[in-house]
Amino acid sequence: MEPGPFDNREMLYLQHEHRSQYVWDAPVSSSRVVRICLGESAWDILEAIPPHPRVIDILRRGGIYRCIEVGRLVHDRALVTAIIKRWRPETHIFHLGIGEATITLQDVEVIYGLQIDGQALYRVEPLEMLPYRQEMARLTGFEPLQGDMCGRSQLLRSSLHAHLRLVDLQHPIGDAMLQADVDRRARLYLLIIFGGIMFPNTSGADISIRYLLFIEDLEQLGCYSWGAAVLAYMYRGFDRASMGERVEVAAFSPLLQIWVLTRLRPFLPIAAHPPDDYVAEDMPYAQRWSRGRTRGVETHHVILPFRDQLDRITAPESFIVN
């Protein structure tokens, strides 16, 4: 094996810009961890104003609620940083000492319960021509001020969260509320979930309201392959984060973290006892991790030991297939 990063310019043609090259050239300066777009503000608002059962029913029928039902997880930036160095944007695969591995659609379905069958999230309309503020008002009852917009299709999260707090205080959902009004409230929650948790961006301050294109007809919400969309978005986030000295990764990082902890044996800690109401065949696998991990038996949360641990994975049995 040659020292330094593997040089195959036919396939790994981006090596000169890849994070591993920077680590090899300057291992000390490259030991800083990446900033994960955690979506903490989205989780804060979901915990402060939990969706009403009528909204939960819409989210559940749309195949979205499982992602929220699992709950907020403890994030490990050092672990994510170490594994991102192994990602190759040319092939969308982690290069490990035992071979190549990647997160698959099956992983998305098993770990988080997101459906992988259905239509792709794809629209052919010219996005720059759509009146997003007017569509926001029509579909959610909230028309943002021009000052709340970042460009044409990005909305400040703080303004969306403030509006949800206000309408929940003034017009709480009840059994007598019209279904059309419940649908508008559900779309507000969907924008928070999409923009803050499933498809976060690196700004941390705004969310895209282009998702309105896919949630106008809530009866069709369950027809989309949300698992495939999350995986594709994650691949793009890894592609960007693995290049140069990028300090941010915009992806559904809990999925990556649980994948590493359950697939790579040296990182496998003892999971906390699942909740009392946990039913294995009914809940996503990620539910096992929703109450944290036993830290006394896992590698210290610093990047260099994680990186060394990945370097030492050479035995085939170190990768857990099932």
pLDDT at residue 137 in the model: 92
| 107 neighbors 285 (Cβ within 8 angstroms) | no
Specify if 3 maps to a domain: no
Specify if 18 maps to a domain: no
pLDDT at residue 248 in the model: 83
Specify if 70 maps to a domain: yes
pLDDT digits (tens, 9 = 90+) for 59-83: 999 999 988 888 888 788 888 888 9
pLDDT at residue 2 in the model: 36
Q: Kindly state the tokens that stand for 60.
A: 């559940």
Instruction: For residue 68, give the 3-state DSSP assignment.
Output: helix
Specify if 133 maps to a domain: yes
CA distance 229 to 77: 23
- Count, in order, helices (H) and strands (E) of the chain: 13, 8
Instruction: For residue 93, give the 3-state DSSP assignment.
Output: strand
pLDDT at residue 1 in the model: 29
pLDDT at residue 208 in the model: 87
Specify if 2 maps to a domain: no
pLDDT at residue 169 in the model: 93
Q: Element (H or E) spanning 136, and its range?
A: helix 132-140
Specify if 281 maps to a domain: yes
Number of domains in the chain: 1
Output b/e per residue, 290-303; b: 16+ Cβ within 10 A. beebeeeebbeeeb
pLDDT at residue 271 in the model: 56
Specify if 90 maps to a domain: no
pLDDT at residue 3 in the model: 38
CA dihedral 58, 196, 224, 129 (to 10 degrees): 110
pLDDT at residue 295 in the model: 45
Specify if 19 maps to a domain: no
Count of CB atoms situated within 10 Å of the CB of 320: 10
Residue-range definition of the domain harbouring residue 265: 36-81+97-231+248-306+313-318
Query: Which regions in the chain score pLDDT beneath 50?
Result: 1-5, 28, 292-300
| 105 neighbors 116 (Cβ within 8 angstroms) | yes
Sign of CA dihedral 242, 247, 249, 254: positive
Count of CB atoms situated within 10 Å of the CB of 223: 14
Q: What is the mean pLDDT of the chain?
A: 82
Residue 245, C-beta contacts closer than 8 angstroms, at least 6 positions apart: 19, 22, 30
